[in-house]
Chain A
Amino acid sequence: MLSGLAAAGAGVLAAPHVRAQAGARIVVVGGGFAGASCARALGREAGNLAVTLVEPNARYTACPFSNAVIAGLREMDGQNFGYEALRRTGVDVVTARVVAVDAETRRVRLEDGASLDYARLVLAPGIDLDLGAIPGYDAAAAAVLPHAWKAGEQTLLLRRQLEAMADGGLVVIAAPANPFRCPPGPYERASLIAYYLKARKPRSKLIILDAKDAFSKQRLFEAAWTELYGGLIEWVPLSGGGRLTAVDAATRTLTTEFGSHRAAVANVIPPQRAAAVAVAAGVADRTGWCPIDPVTFESRLRPGIHVIGDAAIAGAMPKSAFAADAQAKACARAVAALVRGREPDEPKLINTCYSLVAPDYGISIAGVYQPRGGLLAEVEGAGGVSPIKAPPSFRAVEATYAMAWFRTITDGIFG
Chain B
Amino acid sequence: MSGRTHRTGVAARASRRGLAVAALLWAAVPALARTAHPGDAAACGGCHAPASAGEVPDLRGRPPAEVVAAMRAFRSGERPATVMDRIAKGYSDEEIRAIAAWVTAPPGEAERPTQP
Contacts and interface: CB of A to CB of B under 8 A. Distances in A.
A345 B39 contact: yes
Nearest to A336: B115
A403 B51 CA distance: 11
Contacts of A407: 51-52
Contacts of B13: 295, 343-344, 346
A93 B35 CA distance: 35
Interface string B91-115: 1000100000000000000011111
Contact of A348 (B45, B95, B112, B115): B95
A404 B114 CA distance: 25
A210 interface: no
Given A346-B34, A398-B82, A404-B52, A382 B114 contact: no
- State the majority secondary structure of interface residues on B: loop
Interface residues of A, number: 51
A409 B46 contact: yes
Contacts of A405: 46-47, 52, 56
B3 to A, nearest CB: 9
Interface in A21-45: 41, 44-45
A51 to B, nearest CB: 13
Nearest to B80: A394
Contacts of A44: 111-114
Contacts of A408: 45-49, 51-52, 56
A347 interface: yes
A82 interface: no
- State the majority secondary structure of interface residues on A: mixed
Contact of B51 (A89, A394, A401, A415): A415
Q: Which bracket fits the contact residues of B?
A: 35 or more
B88 to A, nearest CB: 8
B61 interface: no
B25 to A, nearest CB: 9
B87 A349 contact: no
Nearest to A410: B51
B91 A368 contact: yes
B89 to A, nearest CB: 4
Interface string B67-99: 000000000000000110011111100010000
Contacts of B2: 370, 372, 377, 379
Contact of B46 (A41, A336, A345, A352): A352
Contacts of A337: 115
Interface string A323-357: 00110011001001100001111111110100000
A333 B45 contact: no
A33 to B, nearest CB: 10
Nearest to B111: A44
B42 interface: yes
B19 interface: yes
Contacts of A102: none
A401 B42 CA distance: 19
B1 interface: yes
Contacts of A345: 35, 37, 39
A376 B39 CA distance: 16
A326 B95 CA distance: 17
Nearest to A298: B17
A405 B56 CA distance: 8
Contacts of A336: 115
A409 B45 CA distance: 8
Interface in A346-385: 346-350, 352, 364, 366-368, 370, 372, 377, 379, 381-384
In the A-B complex, the 7 residue pairs with the smallest Cβ-Cβ separation, listed nearest first, are A368-B90, A382-B90, A411-B51, A329-B42, A350-B43, A326-B43, A382-B89
7 contacts: A46-B116, A333-B114, A348-B39, A404-B54, A405-B47, A411-B49, A412-B49
